[in-house]
């Protein structure tokens, strides 16, 4: 049986309509795919980072400029010692220990493997010397000795490390030791994430005195007999880099939490699980370069700049100048076009005596409603307490002045 197709004029019109609809649908689909590809391209990573995980942070605002696998739990190796450094700095700030305290190395501290300064049981070093060894050469024995001095034992210090991690909101971090070495028992070692290390590093740089150790390329101990060379090559080879901490184990790969400052802008960059030390340094350099290209320091107040006066109660002088303690800058994106607001908080009077440099107020700066910096206001000069007769004469003058007015 043969079937024959017969075309009628009405059917031909319907055919054209169906063809047009199909062409239109194809065009819509192609347009949607084009738009999606443009969006994907726009949201693509701005940097090619070969390390497994990375973060770039502007610490003043807390803005993350770049991240890659930032919340993945990873072994930190000796980057662990960032927390040791922080707890030591905080203990110094609280007056619980002193840089001049002498520590006698315990046999347990001297058994640490990996990077070390080869402490001998009973050998004495100061807190400053041990902290220098941790910061520059990542010494495991020095880290253990500091932990024992601060908390009495490594176990107690590890408890403090985890407590501080929770306070800082480090969601993916857990410590089992002070060194970052894999446990000899074979259990789980320290874990963290690049995002957590960014938060921790931001807290560490709030104690800028640590940079005098982490930013050193070459130093020594034991009266020059023990040579120290920084494990962070960028301290020497990247302009402005002054910290913070390297790490390496076979399991962790090559890790680095670094910070650098240029033209008043500080950046914090983290890479974890880099395949080698060369790529580790290259990736950090890429992150720094990108960050410094995006941000600029806007000077709002110069150090020593006067912003007002405060009346002095019972002082030989009636008032004291309030000046900014140091240069105050707003770290903002280079293309920022908004207005920077300045808020000065200062008392109406202060009691004598007043010492030069005494805090008498604070100044805040905000951009788009977000706080972007602050500085203390301090007394510019000394004001001694007035004698009884001076106070009496000041009172008479005030009364006469008010009467005349």
- Give the Å distances, CA to CA, from 1 to 4, 7, 63: 10, 20, 78
Catalytic residue among 81, 261, 273, 294: 81
Q: Are 140 and 112 in contact (CB under 8 A)?
A: yes
Q: Are 317 and 303 in contact (CB under 8 A)?
A: no
339's tokens: 């207005």
Alpha helices in 3-66 (DSSP H): 9-42
Q: Are 64 and 56 in contact (CB under 8 A)?
A: yes
Is residue 163 annotated as part of the catalytic site, yes or no?
no
- Give the Å distances, CA to CA, from 52 to 3, 77, 99, 105, 267: 66, 15, 37, 37, 20
- Count how many Cα atoms sit within 13 Å of the Cα of residue 175 in the half-sphere of its side chain: 27
What's the rounded Cα separation, in Å, for the pair 221 and 140?
A: 15
Q: Are 183 and 177 in contact (CB under 8 A)?
A: yes
Catalytic residue among 51, 106, 115, 138: 138
Q: Are 166 and 204 in contact (CB under 8 A)?
A: no
What's the rounded Cα separation, in Å, for the pair 213 and 63?
A: 26
Catalytic residue among 51, 78, 106, 143: 78
Dihedral class, residue 308 (left if φ above 0, else alpha if ψ from -120 to 50, else beta): left
Q: Which residues pair with 363 in a beta bridge?
A: 344, 375
What's the rounded Cα separation, in Å, for the pair 93 and 76?
A: 26
**Contacting residues for 50 by C-beta, under 8 A, at least 6 apart:** 274, 275, 279, 282, 283
Q: Which residues pair with 273 in a beta bridge?
A: none
Q: Are 204 and 126 in contact (CB under 8 A)?
A: no
Q: What is the DSSP string of 218-241?
A: EEEETTTTEEEE-S-THHHHSTTE
Is residue 81 annotated as part of the catalytic site, yes or no?
yes
Could you list the active site residues? Answer: 78, 81, 138
């Amino acid at each position: 049986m043969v079937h024959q197709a017969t075309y009628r004029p009405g059917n031909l019109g319907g055919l054209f309509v169906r063809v047009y609809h199909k062409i239109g649908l194809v065009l819509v689909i192609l347009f949607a795919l084009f738009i999606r590809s443009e969006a994907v391209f726009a949201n693509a990573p701005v940097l090619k980072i070969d390390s497994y995980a990375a973060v770039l942070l502007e610490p003043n605002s807390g803005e993350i400029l770049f991240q890659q696998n930032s919340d993945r739990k990873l072994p930190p190796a000796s980057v662990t010692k960032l927390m040791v450094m922080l707890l030591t700095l905080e203990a110094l700030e609280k007056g619980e220990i002193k840089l001049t305290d002498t520590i006698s190395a315990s046999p347990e501290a001297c058994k640490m493997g990996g990077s070390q300064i080869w402490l001998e049981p009973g050998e004495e070093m100061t807190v400053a010397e041990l902290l220098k060894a941790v910061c520059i050469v990542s010494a495991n024995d020095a880290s253990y000795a500091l932990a024992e001095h601060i908390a009495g034992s490594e176990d107690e210090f590890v408890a403090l490390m985890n407590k501080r991690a929770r306070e800082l909101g480090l969601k993916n971090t857990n410590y089992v030791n002070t060194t970052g070495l894999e446990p000899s028992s074979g259990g789980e070692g320290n874990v963290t994430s690049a995002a957590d290390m960014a938060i921790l590093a931001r807290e560490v740089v709030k104690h800028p005195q640590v940079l005098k150790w982490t930013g050193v390329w070459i130093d020594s101990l034991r009266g020059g007999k023990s040579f120290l060379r920084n494990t962070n090559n960028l301290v020497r080879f990247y302009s402005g880099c002054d910290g913070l901490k390297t790490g390496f184990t076979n399991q962790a790969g090559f890790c680095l939490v670094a910070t650098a400052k240029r033209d008043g802008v500080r950046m914090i960059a983290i890479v974890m699980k880099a395949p080698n030390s060369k790529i580790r340094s290259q990736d950090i350099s890429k992150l720094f370069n990108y960050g410094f290209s995006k941000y600029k320091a806007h000077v709002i107040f110069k150090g020593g700049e006067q912003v007002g006066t405060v009346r002095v109660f019972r002082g030989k002088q009636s008032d004291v100048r309030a000046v900014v303690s140091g240069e105050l800058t707003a770290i903002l994106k280079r293309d920022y076009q908004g207005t920077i607001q300045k808020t000065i908080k200062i008392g109406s009077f202060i009691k004598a005596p007043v010492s030069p440099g005494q805090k008498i107020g604070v100044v805040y700066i905000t951009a788009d409603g977000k706080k972007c910096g602050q500085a203390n206001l301090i007394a510019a000069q000394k004001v001694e307490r007035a004698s009884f007769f001076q106070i009496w004469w000041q009172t008479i003058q005030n009364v006469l002045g008010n009467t005349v007015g």
